Amino acid sequence: MASAGRPLTGSMLGRLRAQWQPRRETCAGVMLTDRCFALELPDCTLAHFKLDHDGPGRPPGGGPPPHLASLLGSPGRSYSLCVPVAPEAGCGARVRAARLHQRLLRQLRGGAFAQCQLLRLLDYRPGGQPGSAHHGFLLRDPRDCLETRRALLRLLGACEESPRPHLGEFESSPQGQLWQRRWEPEDGEWREAGSALVRPIPEPELHPVLPDLTSSAVFPSREAAQAVLEACTSFIPEAQVVLDLVNQCPKQVQKGKFPVIVIEGLDATGKTTVTQSVSDSLKAVLLKSPPPSVAHWREIFDDEPTIIRRAFYSLGNYIVASEIAKKSTQSPVIVDRYWHSTATYALATEISGGLQYLPPAHHHLYQWPKDLLKPDLVLLLTVSPEERVQRIAGRGLEKTREEAELEANKVFRQKVELSYQHMENPGCHLVDASACREKVLQTVLSLIRNN
């Protein structure tokens, strides 16, 4: 094997091919020849490629496209890490994989990897099969330092989870080809387990993670979210308390005769002020999601992976729904955030790349859950990004993690906003909240009367 920092010569490549070819058949099952990869590039586009195990022939049209060659080839060296989950795996396995992925993310951001570039990588099986996507990373070492590989192998060697992350190492050939060498644990050590040629492939019609989101982020039912938290009770005691509260709520609740209005919006759009003013004007009950009975645990669940965090917020919606059903028999109800915010943040977080990769309009992920009490009207408060920044600075409050992400990541904010606009059954009525407080209140009250 060529050492890190030494380019492959023609004779070295020939020897490597001779070594790799006999192994191809024995490791074909492990290497999953039908799997593809989606790499998130710095410009928020996705580069799709696959690994060709059928021989070292030169790719059609020469080498890989420049954007892949610059990130996977020399100078420098790149490594792929993906956390596998069996398609038929239950919630427990998906939760364990998500927690391992989060732990690796934190470890790869410092220490021996501080000088490396970290990009999102998705390992998937084409065809839109649920449960086939594996989340991971591309670790790009611009220095091509041997210590980076050693640190990576030590890190993965310390993983006690099974199955362990898939590890690949990319290398350029003198002919301009890209190869990935696979590493596998064997007798307590990581060893080379074969190779494959990197070939670019066309972009699929839909983002490959979409089939998995109903079981990992945008839960379509109370039972789906409950199953996730049930897998968390051994390491998050509060999860059992949330489940107990949910189990006390009727599974089917009906809205009373009074209207139910949900007010959504990003932080600093005036949502808190508007919800309070509207509830005062209508003599309505004001509720929040998540409700006070579980809201004090937000910090605990916000520190967990998306699958756990969104299950918590989803179940908070069902607890609020039970309160809505009771209160709407006596007076109007105003709700500060509900299902739409749970779904939009999940979509923006889990779908890599830019706006173009969100589900198309009318996709089932934008539909309201059939078992969740539906409001009469949903209003979405909006202000310009510049206005939001000024308001946040004026408040002088500590930013939440989501707010920091909205401010620092323009694409993330745009994905949240566009997801809100795509929500259906019910959809969101947009309200320009940049005007003075009195005018915004008048606009909101007019919308409520007209709808």
Give pLDDT tens digits for 377-405: 999 999 887 777 776 666 655 555 666 66
Q: Is residue 304 part of a domain?
A: yes
Looking at 200, 235, 251, the residue that finishes a domain is 200
Q: 30-34, 116-120, 274-278, 358-362: lowest mean pLDDT where?
A: 30-34
Q: Of 156, 207, 208, which is closest to residue 186 (Cα–Cα)?
A: 156
Q: Is residue 423 part of a domain?
A: yes
**153 and 196 share one domain:** yes
In angstroms, what CA-CA distances link 335 with 187, 269, 296, 324, 441?
57, 16, 18, 8, 16
Residue 414: predicted pLDDT: 93
Q: HSE (CB half, 13 Å, CA atoms) of 364?
A: 10
Looking at 173, 200, 227, the residue that finishes a domain is 200
Cβ–Cβ under 8 Å, residues 348 and 412? yes
**293 and 351 share one domain:** yes
Q: Is residue 118 part of a domain?
A: yes
Q: Residue 15: pLDDT above 90?
A: no
Count: domains in the chain? 2
**272 and 132 share one domain:** no
318-375 per-position pLDDT tens digit: 999 999 999 999 999 999 999 999 999 999 999 999 999 999 999 999 999 999 999 9
Q: Is residue 85 part of a domain?
A: yes
**238 and 281 share one domain:** yes
**190 and 218 share one domain:** no
**175 and 262 share one domain:** no
**169 and 34 share one domain:** yes
Q: Is residue 283 part of a domain?
A: yes
Residue 401: predicted pLDDT: 62
Phi, psi (degrees; rounded to nearest 5) at 256: -75, -170
Q: Are strands 36-40 and 260-265 parallel, antiparallel or unpaired?
A: unpaired
* Whole-number Å distance between alpha carbons of 323 and 255: 10
Average pLDDT rounded to a whole number, residues 127-156: 92
- Which runs of consecutive H residues, i.e. helices, occur in 237-305? 237-247, 271-282, 292-295, 298-302
Residue 29: predicted pLDDT: 38
CATH number assigned to the domain comprising residue 363: 3.40.50.300
**% of the chain surpassing 70 pLDDT:** 86
* Whole-number Å distance between alpha carbons of 291 and 278: 19
Please state the pTM of the whole predicted model: 0.88
Q: Is residue 4 part of a domain?
A: no
Looking at 138, 167, 200, the residue that finishes a domain is 200
**30 and 59 share one domain:** yes
**Of residues 177 and 210, more confidently modeled:** 210
**379 and 443 share one domain:** yes
Residue showing tokens 């070292």: 56
Structural domain boundaries, residue 91 = 10-200
**180 and 230 share one domain:** no
Burial class (CB in 10 A: 0-12, 13-18, 19+), 272: middle
Residue 408: predicted pLDDT: 60
Q: Residue 180: pLDDT above 90?
A: yes
**393 and 415 share one domain:** yes
> What is 383-410 written as a DSSP string?
--HHHHHHHHHHHTPPPPHHHHHHHH-H
Angle, helix 306-327 to helix 237-247, in steps of 10 degrees: 30
Q: Residue 5: pLDDT above 60?
A: no
**246 and 189 share one domain:** no
Cβ–Cβ under 8 Å, residues 337 and 416? no
**pLDDT mean across residues, the chain:** 87
Q: Residue 74: pLDDT above 70?
A: yes
201-220 per-position pLDDT tens digit: 999 999 999 999 999 999 99
Q: Is residue 28 part of a domain?
A: yes
Residue 400: predicted pLDDT: 58
Q: Is residue 207 part of a domain?
A: no
Q: 130-134, 363-367, 428-432, 440-444: lowest mean pLDDT where?
A: 130-134
* All residues at 6 or more sequence positions from 59 whose CB lies less than 8 Å from its CB, including other chains: 52, 177, 197, 199, 200
